[in-house]
Amino acid sequence: TDLAQFIAGLPKAELHLHIEGSLEPELMFALAQRNNVAIPYASVEEVRAAYDFSNLQDFLDIYYAGADVLRTRADFHDLAMAYFTRAAADGVVHAEIMFDPQTHTDRGIPFAEVIEGLLSAMAAAEAEFGLTSQLILSFLRHLPEEAAFATLKMAEPWLGRITAVGLDSSEVGHPPAKFARVFAAAREKGLKITAHAGEEGPPAYVHEALDLLGVDRIDHGNRALEDEALVARLAAEGMTLTVCPLSNLKLCVVKDLADHPLDRMLAEGLKATVNSDDPAYFGGYVADNYRAVAEARGLSRDDLVTLARNSFTGSFLPQEMVARHV
Ligand code: HPA
Ligand code: ZN
């Protein structure tokens, strides 16, 4: 359709993507076989049928179990290359990808295997598709802050190749305040900062991400809309929100895409972007997200152009690189 063509042809950056969440069932089966790992599904169809979530935790349980097939540097390379190939086809020219080292190091996979596999795919994607990318190391918030400190220490030899740190996993009960010290340490090392906030957690968690973590952007941020003063502050600061419409639908953050607040965010002056979060689990890559929300909310071409422009101005690219894209 015209809309699909317009969206695919719009150069975009993806700012909210968990690389482990791009593991398609077909690759999960292939890696299970390559590594001799048992998985609790008999077929690709059975895996897809299990992707019926009623909240974030439902999804996370399946997402961490799926990641068990990832064992070697080659696995992480193949995982990321599959994502970049798909993203390039969607018109993504720059991607800032999150990875969860603790999901792997806690299973005995060396940090080096994870990151070297990702870095080799990032180089290959730039050579093959001209798609640039950056890495965001995300801390798992259901684990203690000491574990995040240990992860930051493990990452030390690669800090020149890591752009930012993030905060993901189970939000409610694990406020940003729990990680204030480790984010301060990351900032001192020159890393940018992002955090999931206001996906399921209350507006107070968004306030904490701003005040206690000093975030450079907010992942999701939907529930900030419940707090008028917070909305005004986010708008005044030009804070980027990495919104994920199909994720919001699959995790029941919204009941229906027709209720999605993306255009309300834009109308309130918020710098919203559109992203895929965990595309293999939520039923679509970035262009699918643009398309689905554009259809459900009747977004204009101007809105889509604004969203794509926000994805570059909200990126962690240096100013001169941003200028090349907008
Ligand atoms: N929210 C929180 N943690 C996550 C997500 C998400 O959408 N995806 C992967 N880890
Ligand atoms: Zn996310």
Mutational test site, ligand 1, from 277, 281, 289, max ligand atoms within 8 Å of CB = 277
Identify the structural domains of the chain with CATH numbers, from first to last.
2-315 (3.20.20.140)
Residue 258: CB partners within 8 Å, gap ≥ 6?
Answer: 296, 297
The model carries a pTM of 0.98
Which pLDDT tens digit goes with each residue over 305-319? 999 999 999 999 999
Instruction: Look at residue 305 in the predicted model and tell me its pLDDT.
Output: 98
pLDDT band of 46, cuts 50, 70, 90: very high
Q: Give the percent of the chain with pLDDT over 90.
A: 100
Q: What is the mean pLDDT of residues 25-49?
A: 96
Mutational test site, ligand 1, from 15, 17, 22, 56, max ligand atoms within 8 Å of CB = 56
Distance between Cα 169 and ligand 1 center (Å)? 5
Q: Is the CB of 250 under 6 A from ligand 1?
A: no
Q: Which amino acid is at 232?
A: A
Q: Is the CB of 20 under 6 A from ligand 1?
A: no
Q: What is the mean pLDDT of residues 9-36?
A: 98
Q: Which residue, chain included where needed, has tokens 């400190």?
A: 149
pLDDT at residue 1 is higher than 90: no
Which pLDDT tens digit goes with each residue over 116-146? 999 999 999 999 999 999 999 999 999 999 9
The two tokens of residue 149 are 């400190």
Point out the ligand nearest to the CA of residue 103. 1
Instruction: Look at residue 294 in the predicted model and tell me its pLDDT.
Output: 98
Instruction: Look at residue 162 in the predicted model and tell me its pLDDT.
Output: 98
Q: What is the mean pLDDT of residues 63-73?
A: 97
Give the up-direction half-sphere exposure of residue 137: CA atoms within 13 A in the CB hemisphere: 30
Q: What is the mean pLDDT of residues 91-116?
A: 98
Please state, rounded to an integer, the average pLDDT across all residues of the chain: 98
Which pLDDT tens digit goes with each residue over 20-29? 999 999 999 9
